[in-house]
Amino acid sequence: MANKRNYQKELDDLMADSSNKGKRLLIHACCAPCSSYCLLYLRSFFRVTVFYYNPNITEEAEYRKRVEEEKRLISEYNKLGDGAYEIFYIDGDYEPSKFYEASKGLEKEPEGGKRCEMCFALRLRRTGEVAREGDFDFFTTTLTISPLKNAETLNKIGECMGELVGVRWLPSDFKKKGGYQQSIELSKKYDLYRQDFCGCGFSKAERAMAKEEINR
Ligand code: SF4
């Protein structure tokens, strides 16, 4: 049986190679809490640009709220004045119809199933395309920080998209090395809006049902 890959170690090895320092990285961000640790960790080594593209988010008000928090976090980090590279930001289009179109037939999938794989592919493909258009050296996502998301699935999809667009995928498993715990602490420190569902209407309904179950 093939050895399980350690994506965090692959990232560490890549960052131990000084020839990669200062390379341009486009990172897909899902929300400010997940970005908090990833950006802090990457910004001293890479010239990072955040790409906010999440057509999965169910309501526009929720989407805008997450966008504003993402921008606020970036501006807080850019004020730190600790010698790290400035973080830039690119707004993706909000196009929920793309998500609904692609989720047809996958509505009943549980969180972590086939619908999520499609959702990752949708977002990472667009991120890869923007990385190619912007001549970035690497692209990646903050999504691997979530303990609810499979890092292997995300990295495999990312690598496929990287091959498709011709930009190098940056491997990660940001939850490792205490990354997830640090994201909770940073979210508290910066008072970030922390939603209690992943993003789509299906995940919102699933979370509401789970809460109902607990309160029964
Ligand atoms: S649960 Fe999250 S990852 Fe899965 S389809 Fe919904 S928004 Fe996308």
CA distances from 21 to 6, 12, 15, 48, 215 (A): 21, 12, 7, 11, 50
CB of 203 closer than 6 A to ligand 1? yes
Residue 1 lies in a domain: no
Residue 111, in any domain of the structure: yes
Q: Is 111 in the pocket of ligand 1 (CB under 6 A)?
A: yes
> Considering its fold, how many domains does the chain have in total?
1
Please work out whether the CB of residue 43 comes within 6 Å of at least one atom of ligand 1: no
Instruction: Locate 168 and state its tokens.
Output: 């190098």
The domain that holds 138 is classified in CATH as 3.40.50.620
pLDDT at position 2, please? 66
Residue 28's beta-bridge partner residues? 51, 141
Domain for residue 11, yes or no? yes
Provide the residue type at 179 as one letter. G
Residue 140 maps to a domain: yes
Give the sign of the dihedral formed by CA 85, CA 91, CA 96, CA 102: negative
Is 28 inside a domain boundary? yes
pLDDT digits (tens, 9 = 90+) for 107-161: 999 999 999 999 999 999 999 999 999 999 999 999 999 999 999 999 999 999 9
Contact 132, 139 (CB under 8 A): no
Q: Which residue has a Cα nearest atom 2 of ligand 1?
A: 198
**Which residue type, as a one-letter code, is found at position 191?**
D
Ligand 1 midpoint to CA 97 (Å):
14
**Is the shortest distance between the CB of 150 and ligand 1 below 6 Å?**
no
CA of residue 82 to ligand 1 center, whole Å:
35
In this structure, is residue 2 part of a structural domain? no
Give the CA dihedral 76, 80, 84, 87, nearest 10 degrees: 20
As a whole number of angstroms, the distance between CA 78 and CA 76 comes to 5
Between CA 207 and CA 39 the distance in angstroms is: 27
Model confidence at 213: pLDDT above 90: no
86-110 residue pLDDT tens: 999 999 999 999 999 999 999 999 9
Domain for residue 47, yes or no?
yes
Residue 36 lies in a domain: yes
Residue 198 Cβ inside 6 Å of ligand 1? The answer reads: yes
Q: Tell whether ligand 1 has an atom less than 6 A from the beta carbon of residue 57.
A: no
In this prediction, residue 211 carries a pLDDT of 81
Measured in Å, residue 176 CA sits from the centre of ligand 1 at 21
> In which domain, by residue range, is 112 found?
7-215
Q: Are strands 168-169 and 138-141 parallel, antiparallel or unpaired?
A: parallel
**Residue 185: pLDDT band with limits 50, 70, 90:** very high
122 lines ligand 1 (CB under 6 A): no
